[in-house]
Structure 1
Amino acid sequence: MLVIFVCPFFSPAATQMIEAALNLTHVRLAVVAQQPLAELAPAVGSRLVAHWQVADVTNADQLAGAVSAIAAAHGAVARCFAAYEQCQLPLAQVRERLGIPGLPAAASHNFRDKARMKDVLRAAGVPVARHQLVHEAADARRFVHEVGFPIVVKPPAGAGAKATERVRTVAELEQVLQRYAPSAHDPMLAEEFLRGTEHSLETVSINGHAVWHSLTRYAPTPLEVLETPWIQWTVLLPREVDDPAYADIRAVGDRALRALGMTTGVSHCEWFRRPDGSVAVSEIAARPPGANMTTMISRANDMDFVGAWVRLMVDGTFTPPERRYAVGTAYLRGQGQGTVAAVEGLDQVQREWGHLICDYRLPHLGQSPTGSYEGEGFMIVRHPDTGVVQAALARIISTIRVVLR
């Protein structure tokens, strides 16, 4: 069968997904990307049926032209999919235009437009933050009068915590409004600030039915990390994902996916456990999670989750794995200004916790900071006991210091 994978760049994650598709013996794989084929490792690129370069993978017309050209040269396209958040909606529109199976455009729109998403979820009885699509300054001022400070502002079609800001005062609100200059054609999204602990819920769905799930906890929230330069972020994937303590979010997540129109695929839901114990959904993406979470799921279950996702998207099948470990990631974030000048504490961490480290990428000297909550490197640890993993994460982030000068 002819399958097309779409990605903007041949990042390590995208290359891993391409290799996973190439490993399916019944698949002939073509790739649409913004980079030329020469940027892909020759051992991988030589196995492709076709490569088509476009200027912008988020442009539906360019995608349709590429997919049509590949189909004309190599036969009917059976599947066309991507992991990149920003091209989910245009790719769904192309699939509908060309008669290729996949998540419908209306459902993709529900997942991609965060204001629309919250409207759909609230109508379905899913607890979400109060929100307002801001077309002019008066909209934001009315919203603050309704919910009070702080609020969060972001693009309606954002991803992760990028371009997300917490606004605490009238002065900060006016500065944001001046900087964003929201309009009918370019609105911003204002949301009630959710308090509590932040988590994620990953779900595998087949034909609209949830068949498997995983969970993580963020410490602290990504927004707090971006606001506080010295904090090093951690993500914990507990072994006890079927614990009754998570029954409420599993039920809420299932209701949310049905309301949004999920068909077959992996979804990534970010949610909060409020101080009173209740849950609230922040946002949901119809794609695998980022920030090393696919690797964490793989390590927790002794499986290749990327390969399983590709098989799911191509064949619509998934074999639920056995959860064997708790897994955690400590993200190593530079302190100071400049480039990476030193990484302190590595020897001590290696002595104490080296036997638990299963994956890592260390910051290298001269490296420029990423400016994201993921920092300049990471360490992933695993152990059958969730408490041991928690202790290792706490020790790693308190011991390792990435010095910038």
Structure 2
Amino acid sequence: MVFVVYVAPNYTENALRFIEKLAALPDARLGLISQEPIEWLSSALQYRIVSFQRVESVFDIAQLLPAAKGMKERQGDIHRIIGAVEQVQVPVAQVREELGIEGMNVETMLNFRDKSRMKDLLRAAGLPCAKHSLAADVAEALHFAEEAGLPLVVKPPDGAASQSTFKVNSIDELAAVLSQGPPSPEKPLLLEEFITGTEHSFDAYSRAGQHLFYSISNYYPTPLKVLQEPWIQWQVVLPREVEAPEFDDIRAAAFRTLDVLGMQTAMSHMEWFRRKDGSIAISEVAARPPGAQFTTLISRANDFDSITAWVRLMIFGEFTPPTRRYAVGAAYLRGQGQGKVISVSGLDAVNREIGHLFTDVKIPKIGQDKAPTYEGEGFIILRHQDTAVVKEALELIVSKVQVRLG
């Protein structure tokens, strides 16, 4: 029975799903490295973890490597070490290299983690992506703005999930963002052309450089727009017709992108745009499972367990491609105002009309704190064989369900 190590900064709801799937494997022993005490896990889950090490920061290789070495001394060779969080991918790869553990190396992970480096590689390969510049000082940032034009998107080169991302429409707005955290050689900022169009994702499972399965999602509206407008309830639709000709261009570009970046064995999450003229542009790619309930959406669309599939792919190299059976959508229930949840209305009416389509529901609780992200305080996931039915149902939800904060 192989010994595998999972790296999880915190025990978020999503992290627990991954830990539980790993701990349930009958043919693997699980070690866990985390910043939080093991006592915070359920006793049943603690029982299934054969080795645990707490560290102050899983992102610090000086702490992560000794923790992994200690587990190796106690449990024997580490068959695989993995993590699902974007920010752990490079330190986990460093541990792999130091201990001779199979998996993608540091250079490859940097291709996915450093968004400026990623775009340099894509542009050199002739793949469509936004114009960009990595600014090491304010002057470089202002020069790119003059050269590329406005509006622009400003973000850290190693960001994830639209964190610390800003749209600037003028030089004054850019200067204001730069004044909050001036770029430096040690901490540069990535500036990108702002693309007008629709935003989507392309999620794939790959093994030894072969891309075995993919899923496409449509965002309504773009995450950056949702960040800017706190009243918007975000929606995501996974159309059933992923093999339709309208996706031929992104399918070819996405697979080539993964090849250029050096993808071997992993699940990847790629965000891309379709401009108003019909052309596409790759935004960025992560070599890890997606967040925001996307693993659940992919599971429901294909009637399989996407997390267990990722786990077995990463540990044993096993993967059986599923068949797309449904269109699936999510409406993210986002509270209006500030403070805590004080009321949730419209659920009964929506449930009576389309409740038979629901697969997963998280209703915001009275007294719950305002969520820190645009995903909101809850969600409703639904599915149907017809993509149009899913879209209409999501529109009904966001028009009738209201979460109020106060």
Q: Does residue 274 of structure 2 align to residue 251 of structure 1?
A: no
Root-mean-square deviation (CA, aligned residues, Å) is 0.8
1:67-95 CA-to-partner distances (Å, cap 9, x unmatched) read: 10000011011100000100100110110
Partner-residue secondary structure (3-state), 1:203? strand
Q: Deviations over 1:43-78 (max 9, x none)?
A: 111111111111101111211101100000110111
Please name the residue that 2:48 is paired with. 47
Displacement, 1:24? 2.0
Aligned partner of 2:62: which letter? D
Contact 1:83 / 1:287 at 8 angstroms: preserved in 2?
yes
Shift of 1:23: 2.3
- SS of 1:92's equivalent? helix
Aligned to 1:326: 327
Q: May I ask how many residue pairs the two structures share in their alignment?
A: 405
Equivalence for 2:117: 116
Within 5 A, what are the aligned runs for 1:11-26?
Answer: 11-26=12-27
What residue in structure 2 maps to residue 137 of structure 1?
A: 138
Q: Residue type of the partner of 1:55?
A: E
Q: Are 2:402 and 1:401 equivalent residues in the alignment? A: yes
Alignment-derived partner of residue 378 in structure 2:
377
Query: SS at the partner of 1:336?
Result: coil
How do 1:48-87 and structure 2 match up within 5 A? 48-87=49-88
Question: Which letter maps to 2:266?
Answer: G
Matched residue of 1:298: which SS?
helix
Q: Aligned partners of 2:107, 2:174: CA distance in 1, in Å?
A: 33
How far apart are the structure 2 equivalents of 1:381 and 1:315?
32
The answer for the alignment partner of 1:185 in structure 2 is 186
How far 1:227 sits from its partner (Å)? Answer: 0.3
Deviations 1:139-198 (A, max 9, x none): 111111111110000011000111100000111111111111111111111110011000
Q: Partner letter of residue 224 of structure 1?
A: K
Q: What does residue range 80-229 of structure 1 map to in structure 2 within 5 Å?
A: 80-229=81-230
Q: Which runs of 5+ in 2 are unaligned?
A: none
**1-side partners of 2:126 and 2:374: how far apart?**
32
Match of 2:6?
A: 5
Residue 342 of structure 1 pairs with residue 334 of structure 2: no
Q: Which residue identity does 1:344 align to in structure 2? A: S
Q: Within 5 A, what are the aligned runs for 1:289-368?
A: 289-368=290-369
Q: Counterparts of 1:360 and 1:382 in 2: how far apart (Å)?
A: 12
Whether the 8 Å CA contact 1:124–1:255 is kept in 2: the answer is no
Give the residue type in structure 1 aligned to 2:128: P
Instruction: Report deviation, 1:338.
Output: 2.2
- AA in 1 matched with 2:36: Q
Give the letter aligned to residue 316 of structure 2.
D
**1:358–1:381 contact (8 Å) kept in structure 2:** yes
**Which secondary structure does the structure 2 equivalent of 1:247 belong to?**
helix
Partner of 1:282: 283
Range with bigger deviation, 16-25 or 206-215: 16-25
Q: Equivalent pairs: percent with the same residue?
A: 51
**What displacement does 1:12 show?**
2.1
Deviations 1:103-140 (A, max 9, x none): 11101001001111100111111111111111111111
For 1:11-57, what per-residue CA distance to the aligned partner results, in whole angstroms no more than 9, with x for missing partners? 22222212212222220111111111101111111111111111101
Q: After superposition, give the CA deviation of every residue in 1:206-234 in whole Å (9 maximum; x if it has no partner).
A: 10111110010000001100100110000
CA–CA separation in structure 2 for the residues paired with 1:118 and 1:242: 27
Q: TM-score, normalised by structure 1?
A: 0.99
Query: Post-superposition shift, 1:9?
Result: 1.1
The CA distance in 2 between the partners of 1:104 and 1:145, in whole Å, is 38
Q: Deviations over 1:264-301 (max 9, x none)?
A: 01000000011111110000000011000100111111
Paired letter, 2:386: D
4+ residue runs of structure 1 moved beyond 2 angstroms? Answer: none
Unaligned runs of 5+ in 1: none
Deviations 1:293-312 (A, max 9, x none): 10011111111110000000
